[in-house]
Amino acid sequence: MVHQTMNSRISSAPSASRKSSNMNRVLRGWATLAIVGMLLAALLAGCASVPAPTEPSAPPAAPLPPPADTADTAPLPPPIQQAKSRWVPVRWAELPGFDADALHEAWNAWLRSCERPGAALAALCTEVRQLAIGSAEDQRQWLRSRLQPYRVEALDGRAEGLLTSYYEPVFDASRLPRPGYAVPLFAPPAGLGNGRTWYSREQIDTLPAAREALRGRELLWLADPVDALMLQIQGSGRLRVSEPDGRVRLVRLAFAGTNGHPYNSVGRWLLDRGEVRDASWPGIKAWVARNPQRVQEMLWANPRVVFFREEPLDSFDAAFGPRGAQGVALTPGRSIAVDPQSIPYGTPVWLASSGPQTQLARLVLAQDTGSAITGAVRADYFAGWGTEAGELAGRLKQPLRLWVLWPRGQ
């Protein structure tokens, strides 16, 4: 998912197959005792008998490699240069809050990254899967033994950057236009892409040729044009859709392309004109309520338009966010968007940020990007969906430090 910018816990439950395996072992144990009893009886009676063959047990899982220097006293490797960042090796003790994080929450995101791992991290995925049911101490020891932390710095040496947040809005929508639902959300028009810019937001609203090109591309209809802008800025959303037959279905609109124009922040547009002093989404909404006659002017300040594709939401998909730029589903509170020229997709990252909105020190996975997410120490934190996540995403803007956790010896 490509978005612009402005804790839920998902733990692994024991699977049915694991329960079945436990029951099979119990039954085989009773069967073995029965066979032993029969053999003893046969021997006592002076008879010879051959026990029936038993089902071979499954081979044990491959053991994890022994821990390396968990005392963290080995010589540090050299720095690693990326296109937009420099990674400086550090001791684990530099990572604030490392011993307190609930690592199992991050493991859900890491398992997702292992669906499409980068070359440097793919070799770790077998061990990552084994540790999905490990204890926090097992996971922490494995991280220390297999990975080397590197502090992420800009090329000029700056180690502090900016953290923002994004989320999936949840709105009511209609399958067909009707009174109160007159704001369309579009699928990509024919011929979009190939590096060309298409009609701007203002042109789409005013030029007959642009509207004709989008005829029949309407996916859903919203009640509020500002909600439509919010959905486009976040890059995806969950819609409670009223269908023509009266049913209400929950679907996801996921990012499917843009018109190629640059993103301009409507919050910055309002600040530059002295219209607001609070450019958060609550502040913008308050300005809209006071100035309904100027909403169109504000919307046209951002020429970028996002197009969508509709995806169903079953119970499993609903527990995760949309697919990020890595191509895997995002995990609330454990996925971040980064500049891939600073941090490759799929990289485990230690994130630390302190500010008036929230205090964060946790393991996250770099799984997405966004047009406003550029530079070395820059991240957009996926907060989840709904009102609470939206309140965090609308206000989170605070200092940030990042450490990548990279395989030793690479």
Contact between 306 and 254 under an 8 Å Cβ cutoff? The reply is no
* CATH number of the domain encompassing residue 266: 2.40.240.50
Span 378-391, average pLDDT? 94
Asked if the model's pLDDT at residue 336 lies above 70, the reply is yes
Regarding predicted confidence, which is higher, 401 or 312? 401
Bridge partners (DSSP) listed for residue 218? 186
Task: Say if residue 81 is in the same domain as residue 28.
Answer: no
Contact between 8 and 384 under an 8 Å Cβ cutoff? The reply is yes
Number of domains forming the structure of the chain: 3
* Percent of the chain's residues with pLDDT above 90: 73
Q: What is the pLDDT of residue 3?
A: 64
Q: Which residue has the tokens 């097992």?
A: 138
Span 315-341, average pLDDT? 93
Give the N- to C-terminal CA distance of the chain in Å, as an integer.
29
Regarding predicted confidence, which is higher, 314 or 270? 270
232's tokens:
């486009």
Which pLDDT band holds residue 257 (cuts at 50, 70, 90)? very high
Least confident segment among 6-15, 161-170, 293-302? 6-15
Q: Is residue 69 part of a domain?
A: no
* CATH number of the domain encompassing residue 331: 2.40.40.10
Domain end point (choices 294, 314, 334): 314
Task: Say if residue 132 is in the same domain as residue 237.
Answer: no
385's tokens:
């969906």
Contact between 375 and 114 under an 8 Å Cβ cutoff? The reply is no
Q: What is the pLDDT of residue 100?
A: 95
Task: Say if residue 293 is in the same domain as residue 342.
Answer: no
86's tokens:
């420099």
Task: Say if residue 226 is in the same domain as residue 334.
Answer: no
Q: Is residue 174 part of a domain?
A: no
Burial of 58 (0-12, 13-18, 19+ CB in 10 A): exposed
Task: Say if residue 235 is in the same domain as residue 341.
Answer: no
Asked if the model's pLDDT at residue 215 lies above 70, the reply is yes
Q: What is the pLDDT of residue 319?
A: 87
Q: Is residue 68 part of a domain?
A: no
Q: What is the pLDDT of residue 108?
A: 94
Regarding predicted confidence, which is higher, 372 or 292? 292
Task: Say if residue 216 is in the same domain as residue 307.
Answer: yes
Task: Say if residue 304 is in the same domain as residue 325.
Answer: no
Identify the three-state secondary structure at position 16. helix
Q: Is residue 10 part of a domain?
A: no
The secondary structure element, H or E, covering residue 368 is strand 359-370
Asked if the model's pLDDT at residue 68 lies above 80, the reply is no
Half-sphere exposure of 157 (CA within 13 A, CB side): 0
Task: Say if residue 301 is in the same domain as residue 324.
Answer: no
Average pLDDT, the chain: 85
Asked if the model's pLDDT at residue 376 lies above 80, the reply is yes
- Full residue range of the structural domain in which residue 33 is found: 16-47
Q: Is residue 269 part of a domain?
A: yes
Regarding predicted confidence, which is higher, 27 or 373? 373
The DSSP-derived string for 64-126 is: PPPP--TT--SPPPPPEE-SS-EEEE--GGGSTTGGGS-HHHHHHHHHHHTTS--HHHHTTHH
Q: What is the pLDDT of residue 282?
A: 80
The CA–CA distances, whole Å, from 103 to 133, 204, 379, 407 equal 11, 46, 20, 18
Asked if the model's pLDDT at residue 65 lies above 70, the reply is no
Distance CA 358, CA 282 (A): 17
Distance CA 289, CA 12 (A): 44
Q: Which residue has the tokens 């979009």?
A: 192
Q: Is residue 285 part of a domain?
A: yes
Span 374-396, average pLDDT? 93
Asked if the model's pLDDT at residue 170 lies above 60, the reply is yes
Q: What is the pLDDT of residue 261?
A: 94
The answer, as to whether pTM is greater than 0.85, is no
Q: What is the pLDDT of residue 4?
A: 63
Identify the three-state secondary structure at position 14. coil
- Nearest-5° angle of CA 297, CA 220, CA 229? 30
Task: Say if residue 87 is in the same domain as residue 210.
Answer: no
Task: Say if residue 219 is in the same domain as residue 299.
Answer: yes
Domain end point (choices 314, 341, 358): 314
Q: What is the pLDDT of residue 72?
A: 81
Give the list of residues 6+ apart from residue 25 with CB closer than 8 angstroms, or none: 57
Give tens-digit pLDDT for 193-212: 777 899 999 999 999 999 99
* Percent of the chain's residues with pLDDT above 70: 82
Q: Is residue 388 part of a domain?
A: yes
Task: Say if residue 133 is in the same domain as residue 37.
Answer: no
Distance CA 393, CA 397 (A): 9
Task: Say if residue 268 is in the same domain as residue 191.
Answer: yes
Q: Is residue 57 part of a domain?
A: no
Q: What is the pLDDT of residue 74?
A: 86
Bridge partners (DSSP) listed for residue 362? 351
78's tokens:
């050299």
